Amino acid sequence: MKIIITGGAGFIGSSLINLLIKKGHTVINIDSLTYAGNLKNLNFVEKHKNYFFIKSNICNKTKILEIFKKYNPNAIMHLAAETHVDNSIGKPNTFIRTNINGTYNLLEAVRNFLSKKNKNFKFKFIHISTDEVYGSLASIGKFNEKTPYSPNSPYSASKAASDHLVRAWYKTYKLPTIITNCSNNYGPRQFPEKLIPVIISRAIKNKQIPIYGKGKNIRDWIHVQDHVDALYKILVKGKIGKTYNIGSENEISNIDLAKKICTLLDEIKPKKNSYKKQLAFVKDRLGHDYRYAINSNLIKKELAWKPKIKFNDGLKKTIKWYLKNHSYLKYK
């Protein structure tokens, strides 16, 4: 199968490409290499005969059409996006352009591409999104595929808008689309603006570790490898028109997560004082959602997927990876 990946130089995209190449597929990686894109993430495939890299912005309509014409893909897995909530609060225009206009451009490119194919040509447009589109939960309940959208940040609003476009192009133009909404990812090679690598980075640099508000906000964490395994199941067996929620049922508050990482660092890289001494509460983020939690029963039932990596094991391995790869922690 020939598969276009957008945003393949990023954290999740590079992990997905690694899996697809191992499975014997041909991958065409489209990435504009913004600050969070890193070709070092793809060292393991860069010279593979089935891997092709094209530096391009997904908003470049002409270039995207050229890529479809040249490579004649069987699927596109759309991960390219601006993703950091803090950045969306300061510069929402970038998120509107990439996450909404970029997705629209890809949908139209696929519509153009498929208009020249016969009806028997098999294709999938898999749109990778976030649980943040659903808004904020109270202390009980979980998001499922029927949960109404209620985004609260410019980032989540832009992703919600892109989800709506994908669903509309399925309903209106019969485009063969699938949407996925996943919980918070963690693992090696994540850009250090995200919570877990920020904590690790600032801890080992003996800097203050900032925790928004009182640290009571709860997130549901999934290892990136479990996420891309789910995406592969969806590529192979997912049903057109469906939405699949992906989560690992690892709910933990931000302060408890920070303390857990500090405890593991105390074991792995001990120093005179515990890393917990560096924790500091700071002014809360604007519009900070209280809790996210994903119900993944649909993908477990329909596609026989389940997460394999236990949170404590994955977190410990992630910490050890960053300690061996300091260059990934230069941002913070």
The percentage of residues in the chain with a pLDDT greater than 90, rounded to a whole number, is 96
81 lies in some domain: yes
Mean pLDDT lowest among 66-70, 74-78, 85-89? 85-89
Residue 182: how many CB atoms within 10 A of its CB? 25
Q: In this structure, what are the phi and psi dihedrals at residue 48, rounded to the nearest 5 degrees?
A: -70, 140
Q: What mean pLDDT comes out for the span 91-114?
A: 97
Are the C-beta atoms of residues 198 and 211 closer than 8 Å to each other?
no
pLDDT bucket at 330, cuts 50 / 70 / 90? confident
- Is the model more confident about 36 or about 247? 247
Give dist(CA 248, CA 34) in Å, integer. Answer: 29
Residue 204 pLDDT greater than 70, yes or no? yes
| Catalytic position from the list 31, 51, 104, 132 | 132
| Catalytic position from the list 31, 82, 131, 289 | 131
Residue 243 pLDDT greater than 70, yes or no? yes
Q: In this structure, what are the phi and psi dihedrals at residue 5, rounded to the nearest 5 degrees?
A: -115, 125
**Number of structural domains found in the chain:** 1
Residue 332 pLDDT greater than 50, yes or no? no
Residue 201 pLDDT greater than 70, yes or no? yes
pTM equals 0.96
Residue 121 pLDDT greater than 90, yes or no? yes
Q: What mean pLDDT comes out for the span 69-89?
A: 96
Give dist(CA 80, CA 94) in Å, integer. Answer: 13
pLDDT digits (tens, 9 = 90+) for 125-146: 999 999 999 999 999 999 999 9
Task: Determine the residue type at 269.
Answer: K
- Is the model more confident about 327 or about 215? 215
Could you tell me the CATH number of the domain that includes residue 96?
A: 3.40.50.720
Q: What is the pLDDT of residue 329?
A: 84
pLDDT bucket at 331, cuts 50 / 70 / 90? low
Instruction: Show the DSSP H helices in the chain as ranges.
Output: 11-22, 61-71, 85-90, 92-95, 102-114, 154-173, 195-204, 224-237, 254-268, 297-303, 311-324
195 lies in some domain: no
Question: Is 132 an active-site residue?
Answer: yes
| Catalytic position from the list 155, 186, 232, 292 | 155
Q: What is the pLDDT of residue 55?
A: 98
pLDDT bucket at 4, cuts 50 / 70 / 90? very high
Question: Which residue range is the domain that position 56 belongs to?
Answer: 2-190+222-248+291-309
196 lies in some domain: no
Q: Which residues contact 208 (CB under 8 A, 6 or more apart)?
A: 202, 278, 280
256 lies in some domain: no
213 lies in some domain: no
Q: What mean pLDDT comes out for the span 232-248?
A: 98
Q: Which of 299, 316, 285 lies closest to 179 in space, CA to CA?
A: 299
227 lies in some domain: yes
Give dist(CA 291, CA 288) in Å, integer. Answer: 9
The mean of the pLDDT values for the chain is 96
Give dist(CA 63, CA 116) in Å, integer. Answer: 18
184 lies in some domain: yes
234 lies in some domain: yes
Q: Are strands 243-246 and 124-130 parallel, antiparallel or unpaired?
A: unpaired
Q: What is the pLDDT of residue 318?
A: 98
